[in-house]
Homo-oligomer: A and B are copies of this chain.
Amino acid sequence: MKNRQVWLRSRPNGIPQAADFDLREVELPTLADGEFLVRHAYLSADPAMRGWIADKSTYWPRIEVGDTMRAFAAGEVVESRNPVYAVGDKVMGIFGWQDYAAVRQSQVMRKVQEADLPLSLSLGILGLNGLTAYFGLLDVCRPRPGETVAVSTAAGGVGSAVGQIAKIKGCRTIGFAGGRDKVRQCVEDFGYDHAIDYKATKDVDEALAERCPEGIDAFFDNTSGAIHDAVLRRINLGARIAICGTASYASWDPWNEGPRPERHLLVKRAIMQGFLTTDFAARYEEGVAALAGWIRDGRLRYREDVLEGIEAAPASIAMLYAGENRGKLIIRL
């Protein structure tokens, strides 16, 4: 049996394109003690993968040319030399863009227990996206009922969950998204009170002031840049700003410049905090239990964009940055 892998052929300057990757076929790995073999059902494409490839400004070791692309994947254990993982177990973790992976405990994000829900959800709403929304909103933004929560990339895999959880917690929500379809999706599918099409809106400050005369109490930011600055200008006393991503910039080398936040954070006694979902690893099961409960209740909706076949993986990161997807982008094997 062969294993197909998507590997990094050249280091991109900016957003990784399909041509930066190639496909190879290798022998199935032999398991070392403690390892188990996972047959992948789904591979993930995430905005963070750009940073994993970049030279700098990231939080994991960079991927070298020749390496199989690091990626989240979900699948079933088909062989095991680890007593904790039995054949038939469903697992999700950082297993790479490939058909099969020989996996060690340290690569596993979680064993998937929600047999009544699709396994693909473990890469999105019940995986990093949902958990990022859950902990970033509840632990970093700490919204109180009646407050106004702003969300950038509001229709995306993380943002759409943030907006819906904020509504579940009794907040008003305003989302930023690019394009009429996404804006409509924000309001109709994800229950945002307001959505601003940042691509079509000439004066975002004015649009924000009209829709949120009461100001912004919490901001879940996936973009940095112009949306970040506009929301910052509208924050209330004691606002909490969670920095989850910086998608509006293709590169952070050299550091991007912009309005300094210090004076405004001081005057507003506001908090700006960066966080990684992995900092909350000890509480993943709490998060998944809550998210799965809201999904079963019909209170938390999600959308998946499914690409077919591993051949679709190389182009998927560029699709994310082009804003072509409307939900969590996954590749079905």
Contact = CB atoms under 8 A, between A and B. Distances in A.
Given A59-B267, A267-B58, A274-B270, A259 B257 contact: yes
Interface in A35-68: 57-59
Interface string A53-95: 0000111000000000000000000000000000000000000
B259 A265 contact: no
A14 to B, nearest CB: 15
A274 B269 contact: yes
A243 B273 CA distance: 13
Contacts of A266: 59, 243-246, 274-276
A217 to B, nearest CB: 15
Interface string A229-263: 00000000000000111100100100111111111
B57 A262 contact: no
B246 A255 contact: no
A268 interface: yes
Given A257-B259, A263-B252, A273 B274 contact: no
A99 interface: no
Interface string A207-245: 000000000000001001000100000000000000111
Interface string A259-295: 1111111111111111110010000000000000000
B246 A262 contact: yes
Contact of A262 (B224, B268, B269, B276): B224
A179 B242 CA distance: 38
Q: How many copies of the shown chain assemble into the complex?
A: 2
A271 to B, nearest CB: 5
A232 to B, nearest CB: 10
Contacts of A58: 267
B57 A263 contact: yes
A267 B267 CA distance: 25
A57 B258 contact: no
A263 B224 contact: yes
A263 B246 contact: yes
A270 B267 contact: no
A267 B228 CA distance: 17
A275 B266 CA distance: 6
B263 A268 contact: no
Nearest to A140: B271
A259 B255 contact: yes
B273 A270 contact: yes
26 contacts: A57-B264, A59-B267, A221-B262, A224-B260, A224-B263, A243-B262, A244-B266, A246-B266, A249-B263, A252-B263, A255-B260, A255-B263, A256-B259, A257-B257, A257-B259, A258-B258, A261-B272, A262-B274, A265-B273, A266-B276, A267-B274, A269-B274, A269-B275, A269-B276, A270-B273, A271-B271
Given A246-B263, A257-B257, 13 more contacts: A57-B263, A59-B267, A221-B262, A245-B266, A246-B262, A256-B263, A261-B261, A264-B274, A265-B273, A269-B273, A269-B274, A269-B275, A271-B272
Interface of A: 57-59, 221, 224, 228, 243-246, 249, 252, 255-276, 279
